[in-house]
Amino acid sequence: MLTRAVLKSYLLDMPRGHIFDLTYKLFADVFPPGEPDASARQKLHALAEECGFDVANNAAEGRFELTRR
């Protein structure tokens, strides 16, 4: 199971320009209750900012795309 600590570790190890796809299912596991909860999205954005990533919501594919700056 993916946890915030594991996700943060993965993100910090990724090179610049890398994209990490976070499905809505995994998002719900890490940031309950998941999409479309505004508080869960804020927590994702805070973690992404801390790790140097931009976040794009790809609703058509049911995932967030985290891109390393």
Domain with 35 in it: 4-68
Q: What pLDDT does 1 receive?
A: 82
C-alpha closest to that of 7 among 35, 52, 43, 47? 47
For residue range 13-67, what is the model confidence (pLDDT) as tens digits?
Answer: 999 999 999 999 999 999 999 999 999 999 999 999 999 999 999 999 999 999 9
State both tokens at 60.
């058509």
b vs e for 52-65, b when ≥16 Cβ sit within 10 Å of the residue's Cβ? ebebebeeeeebbe
State both tokens at 13.
């190890």
Q: Report yes or no: 30 and 40 within 8 Å, Cβ to Cβ.
A: no
Domain count, the chain: 1
